Structure 1
Amino acid sequence: MMDRIRDEEKPLHIVMFPWLAFGHMIPYLELGKLIAQKGHRVSYVSTPRNIQRLPKLPPHLAPLIKFVSLPMPKVNNLPENAEATIDVSYDVVQHLKNAHDKLEQPLTHFLKSSNADSIFHDFTHYWLGPVASKLGIKSVFFSIFTPPLIGFMGPASVLKGTDPGRTKPEDFTVAPPWVLFQTTVAFRYFEIMKIADILSENDSGFSDLYRTGCCIENCDTILIRGCTEFEPEWFQVIQNIHQKPVLPAGQLPTTVFKCSDESDTWWWMKEWLDKQQSGTVVYVAFGSEAKPSQEEVTEIALGLEKSKLPFFWVLRVQRGSMDKDVLELPEGFEERTKGFGVVCTSWAPQMKIMGHESVGGFLTHAGWSSVVEAIQNEKPLVLLTFLADQGINARVLEEKKMGYSVPRDEQDGSFTSESVANSIRLVMVEEEGKIYRENIKEMKDLFVNTERQDRYVDNLLNHLRCLLKH
């Protein structure tokens, strides 16, 4: 049942505008559903193809969540129909940001007639704060990146480069001066080198750090996917460096509206999983953004084979149809692992796979949505980072003994099939890895407690009401 709004309170109208990546769009939609559940209106803004690809809404929320479709602007070097990061290779994402910036005018046009109370926006929208302010709409920087990452990245002046707090990649491999407690949370050298482009201007004219700095500087409130009980010290860091209201959005676990027609895809997967012993299958998936190199795929494949454990691997062989670099499995691998291993190169229902009792562990890139889904399903984590915030997420999980990272070369991030096999067996089978299996179960309540999540949403809505009165 939807929560009743008290008669004297007019429902709020909240606009949501996430970055064009499914790892961003889905948590925004989850929060949108929780807000609509309380009887408020949500306008969810994206481009046509992205809206078509979002999960279906539960019928009782559909009247309150309106999808606002803004045509995708055409820009050079962006393939036809590319509307999300999943559609393009990593080097083309800068052109996607270019197209995204061109949505400023149509979005402003929509906002003028929307009668919106507030807009929730992502890290890329450096131009949005002033637009909202001019229209009298409160802006909320809603970060799907976790509190440790936002805290670690530092004040707006450092992000925008006006304060030379960090000038070289090595500066990101140590805890910064504004973090006043002992922590291992920092990027490893190979992790920051993989994403060194976030530090510099790209085709769009602005670095990711600059964009984030502007978003934080110009917003009225900082809202972060996370939970104050799980990482209180990082919320405090953010509060200290930004001197603005900082609210937790909760972990926003994925909720799936169950359609009556189970897809054929899931049936064959379920049939295979049903044949495996309970807790023996390692599930392998690296999200919609990360794409391993050919060398990495080879080592992962051989590592899975050497682990002697059954595996279910969702492998994206290319990023978008224009990606020329198509990944291949080692010769003979599929024949040798027939029966005890599955490699799926198309979409797979991650929540259903992870919910299956035969799955006993998850080899993951440490993207936070995947981490939350694993904890929802009590699956211990083997970590293999590739991009973005994944290194910082991995440090947090290592510190809390919730995940174990595959050992790698510090300079280039290379790893061997033996280290993959040993890491999987440690976390899933061996006595030494029991702590990871137990800690994941213990943390579940912090991540999927509906009462706490509900309280966070109530606090957020009360805060938004207070903002409107000032």
Structure 2
Amino acid sequence: MAEKDNKLHIALFPWLAFGHMIPFLELAKLIAQKGHRVSFLCTPRNINRLPKLPPNSINFVNLPLPHVEGLPEDAEATIDVPYHTIQYLKKAYDGLQESVTLFLQSSNPNLIIYDFAPYWVAPIASKLGIKTSFFSIFISPTLGFMGPPSVLKGESSVNYEIRTKPEDYTVPPKWIDFPTTVAFRYFEIKRIFDSMSPNDSGVSDVYRIGAGIESCDVVAIRGCIDFEPEWFRLLRNIYNKPVLPIGQLSPAGDQNDNGGDETETETWLKMKSWLDKQEKGSVVYVAFGSEAKPGQEEVTEIAFGLEKSQLPFFWVLRLTQAAALPAGFEERVEGRGVVWKTWAPQLKILAHESVGGHLTHSGGSSVVESLKFQRALILLPLTADQGIYTRILEEKKMGRCVPRNERDGSFTSNAVAESLRLVMVEENGKIYRERVKEMSELFGDMDRQNRYLDAFLDHLKCH
């Protein structure tokens, strides 16, 4: 009976982007494996698109998204809409307050773990006596660079200056009390500077983060103290509340099985057939996640760069991207390179022994998955906090960023080719290949992951 009483009911509520929903789902699975009851709050179409789980392991709670003018009828995730329309998705998401309140009142979970977007959850839960945890898929250096809740909410103070222009974000802020290169490059912050100002939803993205952190009981962060100790210390100081690592949420299990439906199995077998013919560690895997979409100029330079590198490559390039490959490119690289234009099983590809490196946007999940399989990193950040993650990986000699123009972010095919060859095969780039092997334990060690999760759950039981 005591064992049963020790189990918790935990609700999770992610933002409607697959780069957020998937880490939340990984966390939900790990919590459920500990024997706790888990409710996963999300919209119906997104729940249907998430990876299938064993029956009854997690209770999926359907929250129909309210209609908002400017948002297409079936749009329920950022992948469904152009960038400028995401503000309407946030407005619709804020319309879920009543549904979430009703769920909390009727289900009375011990804890709700929420994302950056629903900054309004903690005050509702607290009134009902439910504990709250802000869960950041953004790494601790991103949060540390962005600053304390007061700064994020735009409240000026004697101790902290408010940043008002893009240039302010290109240098480390004064509250960081140790040497670091962590800052946005001008073109990176320029691309996302609108997130610092209120949009059609009525508040800015950074305000959401600040308010969500300010009102929670505990901050949980995707990350590892062994990897970023100084950043966790900084956050505890500027948040003045518990800040706990939740682990890297590296996917578990054997990625080379042929699970999934018949179509997915057939797709993988085609890919595997090509990968099996390549030399061990020779292939560059090229993919930029589901959210980051390279523009036409970027696709062109990447293509010519891959061609000039003379390395074998497997490029996942979604057909939905409004960009065409250079004329004759696929014919010229036939046999040496593959351009795959539909869904691809990233984990299985990264797990294949012929893959040696990953040309990536520095998205959190992609980095974790690459490092789990000891794949060298060639970095090309495109949006969000990917530039910050890139700085950290460069500081630790775990990845090499493709050289770019500081003002507009443009890059050349020569820069792509040289970066690929340096990291993949040249003697001067050996450090990158060795470092990812050294650090992979921090990203793929499930025992370490278990210890972080146990510490987080124990904290909840004791406070």
TM-score by length of 2: 0.96
Structure 1 counterpart of 2:185, which letter?
Answer: R
Which consecutive residues of structure 2, in runs of 5 or more, have no partner in the other structure? none
> Cα deviation per residue 1:75-107 (whole Å; 9 max; x = unaligned)?
111112111111111111111111111111111
Distance in 1 between residues matched to 2:271 and 2:87, nearest whole Å: 36
Equivalent position to 1:253, from 227, 250, 254: 250
Which residue identity lines up with residue 45 of structure 1 in the other structure? L
CA contact (8 A) 1:30 1:255 kept: no
Cα deviation per residue 1:13-42 (whole Å; 9 max; x = unaligned)? Answer: 000000001111111111111111111000
Query: Is the 2:319–2:342 contact (alpha carbons within 8 Å) kept by the matching residues of 1?
Result: no
1:164-193: CA deviation from partner (whole Å, max 9, x where unpaired)? 421111111111111000000111011000
Contact 1:361 1:382 in 2 (8 A): yes
Equivalent of residue 142 in structure 2, options 132, 136, 149: 149
> Is the aligned partner of 1:98 residue 2:91?
yes
Query: 2:195 maps to which residue?
Result: 198
The 1:371–1:255 alpha-carbon spacing in structure 2 relative to 1, beyond 3 Å, is same
**Residues 1:230 and 2:227 aligned together:** yes
Choose which of 409, 433, 437 in structure 2 pairs with 1:413.
409
2:302 equivalent to 1:300: yes
Q: Give me the whole-angstrom Cα distance separating, in 1, the residues matched to 2:352 and 2:217.
A: 42
What are the superposed Cα offsets for residues 294-349 of structure 1, whole Å, 9 maximum, x if unpaired?
10110001100000111111112436xxxxxx211111111111111111121100
Shift in alpha-carbon separation, 1:25–1:260, aligned structure 2, 3 A = closer
Match of 1:46 in 2: 42
Aligned counterparts of 2:362 and 2:246: Cα–Cα separation in 1: 19
Partner of 1:35: 31
Q: Deviations over 1:210-258 (max 9, x none)?
A: 1101001111100000001110000011001000011000001023686
26 and 256 in structure 1: CA distance in 2 versus 1, 3 angstrom threshold: farther
> Is residue 380 from structure 1 mapped to residue 380 from structure 2 by the alignment?
no
2:285–2:359 Cα contact (<8 Å) kept: yes
**Alpha-carbon distance between aligned partners in 2 of 1:64 and 1:451, rounded to the nearest angstrom:** 21
SS at match of 2:60: strand
Q: 2:240 aligns with which of 226, 237, 243?
A: 243
* Residues 64, 435 of structure 1: alpha-carbon distance in 2 compared, 3 angstrom cutoff: same
Are 1:173 and 2:170 counterparts? yes
Distance 1:421 1:21 in 2: 32
Determine the C-alpha separation between the residues in 1 that align with 2:339 and 2:253: 24
**8 Å Cα contact 2:252-2:446 kept in structure 1:** no
Aligned match of 2:429: 433
* Partner of residue 265 from structure 2, selected from 246, 263, 266: 263
Which of residues 366, 370, 376 is equivalent to 2:362? 366
Is the Cα–Cα contact under 8 Å of residues 362 and 389 in structure 2 kept in the other structure? yes
**Aligned mates of 1:316, 1:386 — CA distance in 2:** 16
Secondary structure of the residue aligned to 2:6 is: coil
Mapped partners of 1:17, 1:96: distance in 2: 15
- Aligned residue-pair number: 454
Whichever residue aligns with residue 180 of structure 1, its letter is: D
Separation in 2, partners of 1:256, 1:327: 35
* Change in 2 beyond 3 A, CA 1:160/1:147: same
| Percent identity between the two aligned chains | 63
> 1:440-467, CA deviations, whole angstroms, 9 ceiling, x for partnerless residues?
0000111121221111111111111122
C-alpha distance in 1, partners of 2:367/2:125?
Answer: 33
**Kept in 1: contact 2:390–2:401 (CA 8 A):** yes
2:283 counterpart residue number = 281
What's the counterpart of residue 205 of structure 2? 208
> d(CA) in 2 for partners of 1:340 and 1:18?
40
The residue aligned with 1:138 is: 131
Equivalent residue for 1:158, pick from 127, 151, 155: 151
Amino acid at match of 1:19: W
Alignment of 1:347 onto 2:349: no
Unaligned runs of 5+ in 1: 320-325
8 Å Cα contact 1:141-1:215 kept in structure 2: yes
State the TM-score, normalizing by the size of structure 1.
0.94
- Classify the secondary structure of the residue corresponding to 1:215: helix
Mapped to 2, the partners of 1:254 and 1:73 lie a distance apart of: 32
Deviation of 1:9 (Å): 3.5
1:254 partner letter: P
